[in-house]
Structure 1
Amino acid sequence: MKHIGIVDITTAGACLCANEIVAQSAKITLSKKHPEFTMHAFSYDQYYDLIHRKDWINLAKKICESIELLSKVGADFIIIPSNTPHYAIEMIDQNSPLPVISLIDIVTDECHRKGYKKVLVLGTKQTMQGGLYDEVLKAKNILSIIPTDDVCDKIENLIRNEIIPSKINSMTVENIQKDIEKYDCDAIILGCTELPIVYDENNLGKPVVDTTRLLAHYALQFATENDH
């Protein structure tokens, strides 16, 4: 099996992704066998500052520093279980010594495969209002819907101030859930790798594209190709 390198931007999302790799491998192999993986994280404040300033050039450099370290410990390819940093994916690809799987491409392909025509995109304000998914979805003839400013603010607060620091308030989760239910869409992209911690198709009442687990499943497939 190939060795998976995980760039940990937010540990909540990265650990959920890593755990899903192990869990899904157990389902497929019916054993305790799973690919080797190594995770590296700089302090979250370093990433947050660059993302807040939309400094994609230096964010790409910081992520490539992680990739260099992961390369030295034997990683064969890289996943980044965080949506917003994919604004820098082209620069990361150009400077990475290892192949990097694009989360955005995987999610878009999944929406297209399932025949969705209109999807609600949830995530950080940067992801939602900056149009991270807009063009790639449009290229597949899929319309992306973005929540209103006030709902975007609520989701941003939930992610930054509750989920990431593990201070989740159930009332916050439920209030946002009621906002989300008002939107007419075929499916909902959980475009922040922390959101599956609190939302799924059961409490949202519509199909969801879980970007965290989708990336984990793709990484597992890639890691086990040609595995004998």
Structure 2
Amino acid sequence: MKTLGLIGGTSWHSTIEYYRLIHAYAAQFLDVSQNPNLLIYSQNIQLMREQNIPKINKTYLEIAHKLECAGAEAILICANTPHMVYKYVQPKINIPILHIAEAIGREAATHGLKRLGLLANKPTSKGSFIPEYLSEKFGIETIIPTEVVIAQSHHYISTELTQGVFSDASKAFYLEQIQVLASAGAEGVILGCTELPLLISPKESPIRLISTTQLHAQMAVDFIFGKLEL
């Protein structure tokens, strides 16, 4: 069993969900008296809210080094947006970062999906770290919503979802946007905020939902038990 380092805190609600899911999925390999070896570094979400990219890169690199020195054999970032640091941090450490887009791409490939919509906050929607990875490694096209939709999505995520508020208004908004993306040709929709799967269930969507949290957590467990080929 390998030791995995988790970088959490963005938000603490999502970190708890990752921790819960990793333990739940690990049960397929362990008996009830055991649990996986995890190292967790939970930081202040304010770092991401400031969107000072050099500071974010520097901080995540420092954390990754601490986890590596503590014995982590891979890093899992417990949120979508902080994967913006991947290209900066990965070349500077000696252990792999399990990229969330790798989990997305593998799931999409399993179902033959080549066009995916993306619902997320502003940095994730406008960043290249998910669409570029999916395009280069899996040949998947990512459909990005309009600026107005991105702004509204960012509002709900930053002021409600990451603070544990799951309102009827936010749910109605995201269900409507899933319909819009489906009409634009999306074969599935990436729920690119860790809290979104807590708001929207697959049975409520007309097309396949790609729940990054669950897929990423399963990828983590596969690594821990040597079932993941990188």
- Give the TM-score of the pair, scaled to structure 1: 0.87
1:157 corresponds in structure 2 to: 155
- Other structure's SS at 2:24 match: helix
Contact 2:84 2:127 in 1 (8 A): no
The one-letter code sitting in structure 1 at the alignment partner of 2:56 is: L
| Match in the other structure for 1:117 | 114
Residues 30, 207 of structure 1: alpha-carbon distance in 2 compared, 3 angstrom cutoff: farther
Secondary structure of 1:183's match? helix
**Partner in structure 1 of residue 218 of structure 2:** 217
- Structure 1 residue 106: Cα displacement: 2.5
Secondary structure of 2:139's counterpart equals: coil
User: Which blocks of at least 5 consecutive residues in structure 2 are unaligned?
Assistant: none
Structure 1, unaligned runs of 5 or more: none
- Change in 2 beyond 3 A, CA 1:36/1:147: same
Looking at structure 1, the residues matched to 62 and 195 of structure 2 have their Cα atoms a distance apart, in angstroms, of 23
Equivalenced residues, count? 222
Cα deviation digits, residues 31-87 of structure 1 (max 9, x gap): 3433121211221112321xx24x1x3322201222233234432221002222222
TM-score calculated relative to the size of structure 2: 0.87
Indicate the larger mover: 178-187 or 67-76.
67-76
Which residue does the alignment assign to 2:34?
Answer: 33
Q: Equivalent residue for 1:196?
A: 197
| Aligned CA-pair RMSD | 2.0
| Alpha-carbon distance in structure 1 between the residues aligned to 2:61 and 2:128 | 23
Q: Is the 8 A contact 1:2 1:76 kept in 2?
A: yes
Does residue 65 (structure 1) correspond to residue 62 (structure 2)? The answer is yes
Following the alignment from structure 1 to structure 2, what is the Cα–Cα distance between the partners of residues 176 and 11? 22
- After TM superposition, give the deviation of residue 120 of structure 1 in Å: 0.6
Q: Supply the distance in 2 between the matched residues of 1:42 and 1:209 (Cα, whole angstroms).
A: 26
Q: Which residue in the other structure is 2:6 paired with? A: 6
**Aligned equivalents of 2:99 and 2:173: distance in 1?**
32
Give, in angstroms, the shift of residue 181 of structure 1. Answer: 1.6
Please give the alpha-carbon distance, in whole angstroms, between the structure 2 residues aligned to 1:2 and 1:82.
21
Identity percentage over the alignment? 23
Give 1:130's match in structure 2, choosing from 127, 130, 150. 127
Task: Report the CA distance between 1:90 and its aligned residue.
Answer: 1.6
Residues 84-111 of structure 1: CA deviation (Å, up to 9, x unaligned): 2222202111222432211122322322
Whether contact under 8 Å (2:115, 2:142) holds in the other structure is: yes
Q: Which 10-residue stretch deviates more, 216-225 or 81-90?
A: 81-90
Counterpart CA distance in 2 for 1:59 and 1:170 is 33
CA distance in 2, matches of 1:192, 1:40: 20
Task: State the 1:116 CA deviation.
Answer: 0.3
